[in-house]
Structure 1
Amino acid sequence: MSRLETFVALRYLRPRRGRGLLSLTSGISVMGIALGVGALIAVLAVMTGFDTHLREKILGTNAHLVVLSYQGQMKDPQKVVEAARSVEGVVATAPFIITQGLLKTDLGNQGVVIRGVDPAEEGKVTILPSSIIQGDWKTLSIGGYVAVGKVLAQRMGLMLGDPVTLVTTEGRITPMGLIPRFGNFRVGAIFDTGMYDFDANLVLLSIKDAQRLLGWQDGVTGVEMKLRDIYKAKEVGRRLVARLGYPFYARDWMTMNRNLFSALKLEKVTMFLILTLIIIVAAFNIVSTLSMMVMEKKREIGILKAMGCTTGVITRIFLFQGLIMGTVGTVLGTLLGLGISLLLKKYHFIQLPSDVYYVTTLPVKIVPRDVMIIALSAMIITLISTVYPARQAGRLDPVEAL
């Protein structure tokens, strides 16, 4: 672009005395783009932070891959463990039992999820042992002790050493009918995973205690695994099942949480599209601003053409004007969005109910790629919006203009 085109474009953007309307509409257009870009950056930073935080929580409290049996009870878990050791990508394994049950205390009863774990191996697969905030994880190895979630302990008024009774949905058949199995335990530890569902409904005990409670002898529900690459969980599961054969099958963390992550992805895309409309509306303001400017500068455009300026020169002058407005709006919006995101990340002044959102404050994660995509998209939208008024200016007949 020549110096003449740059000079004229910048000159036209300066407000003239008695011509405040164009200056006002230009400012509104720039602020519209800035608000759209800023809101989009801040919202996507929160959405990305929430997705990342939730993913980390889920992958911490759940295994990357679990192998189960179509027969329900897996009577030979060692076979699965040995097969997993020979499959590339498996870092650690741990057998587990999971069932529904009832927790009985002096304050009342509550339905819970009963999970039997191997106290020595569970820490290699999940963060449950490191989530203990009261008591000692090692009490599970002793036997006769359970670990309960923080929310569950508060709700049922439980403290370390308190007696509890676990009643399972599975029972034993007697001449008197089906009698539920139950066991008496004491609270040996209280954990806080940060996941409300876990902290409010989960009861942990040793796998040996769980087997005695269910009458399973050496049986388990399945074997959970930690992988080197979490995004290869489906592939590792396929190879492992091919080696084991029937009645085994595998479920990876993506499959088990597919609905949740699909909903988050859809929400992120929807918010992106909705907030992009703000930028598009601001771009239409640029169209109207430049169109008004073309009408106001009609005589000056005629003079420039009479002096030898080509249609291309006039078109580029107005394209450059729109580009300047778009650039200023995008830069201001980027600074605004990053500023809001950094404030939210540092001060956590927006509180959230953990039983709904799994977090207590808004998690924020700024992804440079997202910021660049938003900024480039805003620039492209504003540049496209300047094409029509710029071409109209270039097509003006100098004779009619004068």
Structure 2
Amino acid sequence: MFRPLPFFIGLRYTRAKRRNHFISFISLISMLGLTLGVMVMILVLSVMNGFDRELRTRILGMVPHATINGYDPIEDWQQLSERVQEHPRVIGAAPFIQLQGMLTHDGNVAPVLVNGIIPESESDVSIIDQHMQAGSLDALEDGGFGIVVGELVARRFGVGVGDRLTFVLPEASVTPAGVFPRLKRFEIKGIFKVGAELDGSLGLIHAHDAARLKRWLPGQMQGLRIQLDDLFLAPQVSWDLTGQLPGDYYAQDWTRTHGNLFAAIRMEKTMISLLLVLIVAVAAFNIISTLVMVVTDKKADIAILRTLGASPLKIMGIFMVQGSVIGVIGTVAGCILGVLAALNVSGLVALLERLFGVQFLSSDVYFISYLPSQLIWSDVVTICTTALGLSFLATLYPAWRASRTDPAEALRYD
């Protein structure tokens, strides 16, 4: 079978047992370094993608993608909801009333953001019903003054379903006995756990009870929370809705309330990617030192090939093939190991936690208690392409040096 001379000799040099074992060792180190660099890059980016996915599904599953708010209490929110859901990007809408204050119990105090909701509409814009640890949203009834709190709030106060908490509003009531803060007792109807600060700062009550606390009529609402099919379009969609709706409304979206969290995740992913690319580059450019030593070791062979008629371009091709083989083998091996590691890292970490009796991600500190991983094939392709490109570039200088070898000078002392 016909094979071009550069491929034949380049592959033969790669497979051959060299007299200089140190060169063989350096070649192996270059290959292993490239393998580890590619593997670690795929694994780390998959873990970063997993954290990004968990933040998006959990945090933004509880936080509305956008809200349409009225400057005055909204009377007919049902009609407004129908108009909003006519937009092709809107997949759900639910009314809300928002209150800020403090929860107290047995002398302990915690700040809280209370959302007044309609329980039967909440699943259209929130995933909270999927993360209830005790009780249910359906237990919130009009006039019952029940509350659903996060797991951190329940743990801080040492309370459970059926216990009572006092909600303190930042308003004062003037009575003949003096000025007192406004207080209301609520019975805990459920406890949820989604992670992060939401478990310690969010409470849910019935919207009609919230209206009574604001001294509104029971049917009046503050606005609508909106769920979109693409959360990254929230600023544009909310702006479009306020321009199309009759009446005086203003919009808010998640990029104003939680955008800094996702910006930080993206910045971390970008910086980590840059650092890992540098690691891969160091491993790839080890091929330079390997080929330089090979060229020095093979000067006599190069001179003989030149005297037999091999052109400088063919000599250059021989060493480019040899360096590229090292890069291809290291990249392919790293890709396979990285993909396997990314697909199994969650189970492996869970196994280590059971074996050693430790928990690497405590739910008391982090918003999840396991190591998430999401393998994105476009990342794998980009990483492998980058590694192969750097490996190929690393072969150019040593191969060029080999092509410039003078046969007479190389054979003078042999």
Task: Give your verdict on TM over 0.5.
Answer: yes
Go from structure 1 to structure 2 and tell me whether the alpha carbon gap of 1:369 and 1:317 turns closer, same or farther (over 3 Å shift). Answer: same
Residue in structure 2 matched with residue 197 of structure 1 by the alignment: 197
For 1:201-220, list aligned pairs within 5 A: 201-218=201-218, 219-220=220-221
Gaps of 5+ in 1: none
The RMSD of aligned alpha carbons is 2.2
Q: What does the per-residue CA deviation read over 1:33-81, in whole Å, with 9 as the maximum and x for residues that have no partner?
A: 1111111011000001111111111231122221124x4x534462643
Go from structure 1 to structure 2 and tell me whether the alpha carbon gap of 1:154 and 1:374 turns closer, same or farther (over 3 Å shift). Answer: same
Residue in structure 2 matched with residue 122 of structure 1 by the alignment: 122
Aligned-partner Cα distance in 1 for 2:85–2:75: 15
Go from structure 1 to structure 2 and tell me whether the alpha carbon gap of 1:130 and 1:335 turns closer, same or farther (over 3 Å shift). Answer: closer
Aligned-partner Cα distance in 2 for 1:261–1:383: 36
Aligned-partner Cα distance in 2 for 1:330–1:322: 12
Give the deviation of 1:145 after TM superposition. Answer: 1.2
Equivalenced residues, count: 399
Secondary structure, aligned partner of 2:372: coil
Residue in structure 2 matched with residue 318 of structure 1 by the alignment: 319
Q: What does the per-residue CA deviation read over 1:178-219, in whole Å, with 9 as the maximum and x for residues that have no partner?
A: 532211121111122x22312222221101111222323354
260-269 vs 194-203, which deviates more?
A: 194-203
For 1:142-161, list aligned pairs within 5 A: 142=142, 143-161=144-162
Residue in structure 2 matched with residue 364 of structure 1 by the alignment: 373
Give the deviation of 1:351 after TM superposition. Answer: 2.6
Secondary structure, aligned partner of 1:63: coil
Whether contact under 8 Å (2:119, 2:138) holds in the other structure is: yes
Aligned-partner Cα distance in 1 for 2:129–2:277: 45
Whether contact under 8 Å (2:92, 2:228) holds in the other structure is: yes
Residue in structure 1 matched with residue 25 of structure 2 by the alignment: 24
Give the deviation of 1:362 after TM superposition. Answer: 1.3
Whether contact under 8 Å (2:74, 2:223) holds in the other structure is: no
Whether contact under 8 Å (2:132, 2:191) holds in the other structure is: yes
Gaps of 5+ in 2: 351-358
Secondary structure, aligned partner of 1:330: helix
105-114 vs 358-367, which deviates more?
A: 105-114
Match of 2:401 among 392, 398, 401: 392
Go from structure 1 to structure 2 and tell me whether the alpha carbon gap of 1:211 and 1:177 turns closer, same or farther (over 3 Å shift). Answer: farther
The one-letter code of the counterpart of 2:50 is G
Q: What does the per-residue CA deviation read over 1:253-281, in whole Å, with 9 as the maximum and x for residues that have no partner?
A: 34432211111111111111101111111
Residue in structure 2 matched with residue 342 of structure 1 by the alignment: 343
Corresponding position: 1:33 with 2:57: no
Residue in structure 2 matched with residue 249 of structure 1 by the alignment: 250
Q: What does the per-residue CA deviation read over 1:17-46, in whole Å, with 9 as the maximum and x for residues that have no partner?
A: 641110011011111111111110110000
For 1:2-401, list aligned pairs within 5 A: 2-14=3-15, 16=17, 18-69=19-70, 71=71, 74-76=73-75, 78=77, 80-106=80-106, 108-142=108-142, 143-174=144-175, 178-192=179-193, 194-218=194-218, 219-244=220-245, 247-349=248-350, 351-401=360-410
Q: What does the per-residue CA deviation read over 1:363-397, in whole Å, with 9 as the maximum and x for residues that have no partner?
A: 10011111111011000001001000101111212
Give the deviation of 1:16 after TM superposition. Answer: 3.7
The one-letter code of the counterpart of 2:64 is A
Secondary structure, aligned partner of 2:149: strand
Aligned-partner Cα distance in 1 for 2:46–2:333: 17
Go from structure 1 to structure 2 and tell me whether the alpha carbon gap of 1:262 and 1:136 turns closer, same or farther (over 3 Å shift). Answer: closer
Give the deviation of 1:107 after TM superposition. Answer: 5.8
Whether contact under 8 Å (1:15, 1:23) holds in the other structure is: no
Residue in structure 1 matched with residue 355 of structure 2 by the alignment: none
261-270 vs 231-240, which deviates more?
A: 231-240
Aligned-partner Cα distance in 2 for 1:315–1:291: 12
Go from structure 1 to structure 2 and tell me whether the alpha carbon gap of 1:215 and 1:358 turns closer, same or farther (over 3 Å shift). Answer: same
52-61 vs 249-258, which deviates more?
A: 249-258
The one-letter code of the counterpart of 1:4 is L
Aligned-partner Cα distance in 2 for 1:378–1:150: 46
Give the deviation of 1:246 after TM superposition. Answer: 6.9
Aligned-partner Cα distance in 1 for 2:149–2:262: 27
Aligned-partner Cα distance in 1 for 2:410–2:23: 20
- TM-score w.r.t. the length of structure 2 is 0.90
Secondary structure, aligned partner of 1:196: coil
